[in-house]
Structure 1
Amino acid sequence: MLRTIASAFLLIAISSSASADNISVTRDGVVYSVSQHETLSSISQKFTGHVKNWRAIGQTNQIENDRTIPIGRKVLIPARLLTPVSTFARIKSFFGDVVIRGHDGNAIEAKIDALLKEGDTLTTMANSFISLMLDDGTQFTLPPNSVVSLRLLRATQYVETPRTQLYLQKGRVESQVTPLNNRPDGKFEVISPLAVSGVRGTNFRVNVDDKRVLNEVLEGKVAVAQNTAVNKPSKQLVAAGYGTVVENGRVSKPVALLTAPVLQDGYQQQIRLPIQFPLSHASAAAFRVIVSTDAAGRNNIAETSIRSNNGKAVAKLENLEDGAYFVRTSALDAAGLEGIPTIQAFRVDARPFPPFLLQPGAKFQGQLQNERIPVTMKWSLAEGIKDYRLQVASDATFQGIIFDQTADTGADEMTVPLARGNYYWRVASILRSGNTSKQGPFGDAKPLAVIPGLDAPSASIGQKEIQFSWSAEPGQRFTFQVAATPDFKTLLNNIESSKAEVAIPRPEAGTYYARVRSTDDDGFVGAFSPAQKFSVPLQWRTEYDAPLESQGQPLGSSY
């Protein structure tokens, strides 16, 4: 009966194999065609590295006499007996400061396609990442502040069944493991001081968090057990969409991972720094955001976590160069387990940065010229930028643009004639390089109320006083000035008034100038009105300092 089973087994193995010289590889092992003078002992030494395995080979193939094997006889060497050989982990991507040391402690340079071997240790510093691929296509990624040792990198010779162990000393590791179907002796394990997570093909994360180990399964199943010397350690089989925590000497029952958070609209194009991602999930205690340059989320370049406030938070990243990216967002529950992620594409178009807007403020008061008020708008000059684009609109969304023009090269201001009313204005920088140019985003728009300036005050000259008045708006206060020269360098009167009128004692005969400005109840100080030129005629007076009159009229220089 055993001979029949073995013969049938061998027939299946031989029929399903592909010959290369006198060796054929099947899913069950190696089928070898015996040469002259070969024995099971020599075959065992050749394929398993030990003579002692000859009996096991003989039992598998129902060979009782080691010395009488016919030349050309097909012998199956089971995969479990084949010699393991060393494999390598290839660096696929890295970012930031990654430290790699060999088992001898010597530093290894981090570079793309570099091969790391068993015993090497990888450390990612703050804001650093590294992603590696094994020979069978399995990939694993380390985020910032993580330490992983490549404890075991082996594969069974000929059948190439991988045997991999990662030792996670600190931080996190996410693994995308190629399925080990039809390879019963294959394994991939992530070991930490407290737990062992073993898989046969899945996508899962392990996080060493203080005195805990958190496991989150995204695909397949993961067997999670305590890393302990006891005969029957606590163990759980965790399915996709579930997570478990190892702490206090036990593995918790699996709990459902949180669904992906909602990423509020508007993230798709980022034109301001810092980059912002508004997130929401009713059950989230925190959120994690990872930015990568690929849709699979392997080439990571930035990460941040933020606590939730009533299920909402805005994750911010200080700086990203302009370009196309992918953002991976996930929600963390109260235990710290990270939920199901979602990956979305977005762009950064924040450069060149817009200039700061300097003048005018929220209000501008000026004199009407042909029913328009010339408004000079000024901005700061950005380093390396000589060209700017100014827009003025009647609404905050700039649907009603009434002025759109590029300033002269090197200019930091433009004068725009505007009717009385409310407006918004903004400026963008334009970077020119040879025959190409790139306009950056507009800066935040500033509101602007354009109001006519005060007219020159009118003067009414009396015998002892001169009365001045002007038009005004309710709630305004005024500063009234009189000077002997049009430049107002030497003031004869400087009067603060809450009324749109003022009286001053009649000065000596001569030519004078008067002007007024308003201060609104919101503190806005307007410009001075045009100067009102007025003349005070000579007035003859009696010895009692009374005006000398003739026929009821004072006598002056014209008499």
Structure 2
Amino acid sequence: MRNTRNALIRLVFTIFLTIGVAGVPSHVHARTADDVVTYRMEAGDTLNAINSRYLASTNAVADVARLNRISNPRRIPVGTVLRLPRRLLAWRSADLVVRSFSGPVNIDGSVPQIGAPLAEGAIIQTGRNGFIAFQSADGATVALPSNSHARLERARIYRLRDLRDVEFRILGGRGTINAPVLRDEERFRTSTPVAVTAVRGTQYRVGFDANTSMGVTEVIEGTVSVGGSTADEGAEGVESEGQLTEAGFGVAASAAGVTAPEALLPPAEIESPGAIQTGEVVSFAVTLPAGALATRTQIARDAGFLEVIAEQIGSAQATDFEGIEDGRYFVRSRGISNSGIEGLSETFSFRRKRLGAEAVVEPSPLADGFRFAWLPQGEGITHFAFQLWREGEADRPLYDEIALPGSATVITGLEPGSYLWRVAAIQSDAEEGLLQVWGPEQSLTVSPE
């Protein structure tokens, strides 16, 4: 009877184990393997010693013994490879710090501070024309453009071999990432609600549209692995097997899975990108690449675009930026495909130097006179030129004056008829030499008395 009861207990226990193991999806095992790091036992090692050196919990020994099926923690052969769960490892902060920001940006509802570390769980939001970039000591960078929403899930350096483990989650908008070169068992990942992008020394971009629940990954350098994710916001989810995506290609992801890679669009063409920008607004003529629905054009203070100060997204060829102060900047533009994947771009430097004159014509106190007046636009010592000619006779100006004194000139004795006139602002520039910017042609009609 006792043997029968013991056999029954063993049968029930066997069925329980079988159901338990069979009920776990295969992709969970794949994710579990990624959530551990390995340690090879050396002479004199014990689990208690490993716990004190590398683990964060006094109760971790039992978990490690159970995971590695160790029956006697005091007698582990030298050379045995242990699996240590990342959640049990002792760690210090990987110290992603605020490198730069501009415009409306907040971290956990507060204005950022340059050089301040970003804590795990921190929520970052950028508004319209708001930009922020983070950088770690090893040179890794994460930059968020306008209208983006992200959370730092993890930023750790484990005590065990100083292994790095970073995950940045894009909840809406986009992020551009320059990842460090990683050692074995280090992680640097960027996730969205529908995908996880894992890298090893790569430059790439990740985006997520909360309205369509579509995510994209675009690879500029290196190779990334993009896998679907079932993670809920704020939870550690299950990552499916990743699809390798190489430089020059991008993929889109949704709850249905990850698409096949598509080639990134060529750079959008910018007409005369290096021309000095003297107008009231900074303006570029941008041509959409074939297959693009729109372009994203950005201006930054640095060639790496970590200090972006403005961007425009649209399908119009004229891309205008207001409020750009004098200085040297960089511009780039890339096409956006139907799938939302953004293409390649070229970077150009340009100079912004506001220069111009606001001019008007008004009656003069003299009976037959007209007063042409102007005001300088921009900074610096400005001189002015003035031209006036009969309509249709631009090659024979009636007045062609350079370096006029004051801010106005009076002309008398004009015969009845139609005239055109304009004013130029002139400055001596250390870099460009003599700068001369003509304002728009304006018309004047002199009526018979």
TM-score normalised according to structure 1 size: 0.59
| Selected match of 2:312 from 283, 304, 313 | 304
- Answer yes or no: is 1:526 the counterpart of 2:444: no
2:279 maps to 272
1:392 paired with 2:387, answer: yes
* Residue from 137, 146, 151 that aligns with 1:135: 137
CA distance in 2: counterparts of 1:265 and 1:397, whole angstroms: 27
Match of 1:451 in 2: none
Structure 1 residues 376, 242: closer, same or farther in 2, change over 3 A? same
Q: Does 1:404 align with 2:404?
A: no
Q: Report the Cα offset of residue 328 of structure 1.
A: 1.4
Q: CA deviation at 1:172?
A: 0.8
- Structure 1 residue matching 2:53: 3-state secondary structure: helix
Residue matched to 2:358 = 355
* Separation in 1, partners of 2:145, 2:384: 42
Shift of 1:256: 0.5
User: 2:105 aligned with 1:98, yes or no?
Assistant: yes
Aligned residue number for residue 299 of structure 2:
291
Aligned residue for 1:184?
184
Give the letter for the 1:273 counterpart. Answer: E
| Map of 1:202 onto structure 2 | 202
Distance of 1:297 and 1:356 partners within structure 2 = 37
Matched, 1:169 2:166: no
Separation (CA, whole Å) in 2 of partners of 1:338 and 1:326: 19
- The 8 Å contact of residues 88 and 118 in structure 1, kept in 2 or not, is answered as no
The aligned counterpart of 1:427 is 423
| Structure 1, unaligned runs of 5 or more | 1-27, 102-106, 361-373, 433-437, 449-523, 529-559
Equivalent residues of 1:324, 1:348 under 8 A apart: yes
CA distance in 2 between counterparts of 1:383 and 1:277 reads: 20
| 1:525 to 1:389, Cα distance in 2 relative to 1, 3 A | closer
Structure 2 equivalent of residue 378 of structure 1: 372
User: Does the CA contact (< 8 Å) of 2:275 and 2:351 recur in 1?
Assistant: yes
Equivalent position of 2:249 in the other structure: 242
Residues 271 and 286 in structure 2, CA contact (< 8 A), matched pair in contact too:
yes
Preserved contact between residue 41 and residue 54 of structure 1 (Cα < 8 Å): no
CA distance in 2, matches of 1:296, 1:417: 59
Q: Contact (CA 8 Å) 1:47, 1:77: kept in 2 or not?
A: no
Q: Report matched runs for 1:77-92 at 5 Å.
A: 83-92=90-99
Q: 1:177: Cα distance to partner?
A: 0.5
- Which one-letter code corresponds to 1:315 in the other structure? T
The alpha carbon displacement at 1:247 in A equals 2.6
Higher helix proportion (structure 1 or 2)? 2
Counterpart code for 1:355: E
1 or 2 for the larger relative contact order (CA 8 Å, sep ≥6)? 2
SS state at 1:345 partner? strand
Determine the structure 2 residue equivalent to 1:122: 124
SS in 2 for 1:151: strand
Question: For the Cα contact (< 8 Å) 1:291–1:328, is it kept in 2?
Answer: yes
Please tell me whether the aligned partners of residues 190 and 198 of structure 1 are also in contact (alpha carbons under 8 angstroms).
yes
Which amino acid counterpart does residue 114 of structure 1 have in structure 2? Answer: A
* 1:382/1:231 CA distance change after superposition, 3 Å: closer
1:145 maps to which residue? Answer: 147
Alignment of 1:224-239 (within 5 A): 224-228=226-230, 233=240, 235-239=242-246
Gap change, CA 1:31 and 1:98, over 3 Å in 2: farther
Task: Report the residue type matching 1:283 in the other structure.
Answer: G
Provide the aligned length of Structure 1 versus Structure 2. 384
Query: What percent of counterpart residues are identical?
Result: 26
Question: Residues of 1 paired with 2:396 and 2:243: CA distance?
Answer: 60
Distance change (3 Å), C-alpha of 1:345 and 1:421 = farther
Counterpart of 1:327?
Answer: 331
C-alpha distance in 1, partners of 2:400/2:191? Answer: 65
**8 Å contact from structure 1 (residues 225, 235) kept in 2:** yes
User: What does 1:463-478 correspond to in 2, within 5 Å?
Assistant: none
**How far is 1:379 from its partner?**
2.2
Verify the 8 A CA contact 1:387 1:407 in the aligned structure 2. no
CA contact (8 A) 2:46 2:74 kept: no
CA drift at 1:80:
8.1
Please state how far the C-alpha of 1:339 moved relative to its aligned partner: 0.3
| Alignment match, 2:267 | 260
Deviations 1:521-545 (A, max 9, x none): xxx55343xxxxxxxxxxxxxxxxx
Say if 1:30 and 1:159, in contact at 8 Å, map to a contact too: no
* CA distance 1:428–1:160, shift in 2 (3 Å): farther
SS in 1 for 2:357: coil
Alignment CA distance shift 1:231-1:301 (3 Å): closer
User: Cα offset for 1:224?
Assistant: 1.5
The whole-number CA distance in structure 1 between the counterparts of 2:294 and 2:90 is 48
Q: CA deviation at 1:274?
A: 2.4
State how far apart, in whole Å, the 2-side matches of 1:376 and 1:306 are. Answer: 44
1:34-73 maps to which residues of 2 (within 5 A)?
41-49=48-56, 50-51=60-61
Q: Which runs of 5+ in 2 are unaligned?
A: 1-37, 232-236, 429-433
For residues 380-411 of structure 1, the C-alpha deviation after alignment (integer angstroms, 9 at most, x for no partner) is 446999965123388999999973333333x4
Following superposition, the deviation at residue 176 of structure 1 comes to 0.8
- C-alpha RMSD of the superposition: 4.4
2:26 counterpart residue number: none
Moved more, 255-264 or 231-240: 231-240
Which protein is bigger by CA-based radius of gyration? 1
Q: What amino acid is aligned across from residue 404 of structure 2 in structure 1?
A: A
- Residues 217 and 398 of structure 1: CA distance in aligned 2, closer, same or farther (over 3 Å): farther
Retained in 2: the 8 A contact 1:125–1:146?
yes
Task: Measure, in 1, the Cα distance between the counterparts of 2:281 and 2:41.
Answer: 62
> Does the C-alpha gap of structure 1 residues 234 and 42 become closer, same or farther in structure 2, counting only changes over 3 Å?
closer
Shift of residue 171, structure 1, vs aligned partner: 1.0
Matched-pair contact (CA < 8 Å) for 1:407–1:414:
no
Tell me, in whole angstroms, the C-alpha distance in 2 between the residues paired with 1:141 and 1:164: 15
SS of the residue aligned with 1:41?
helix
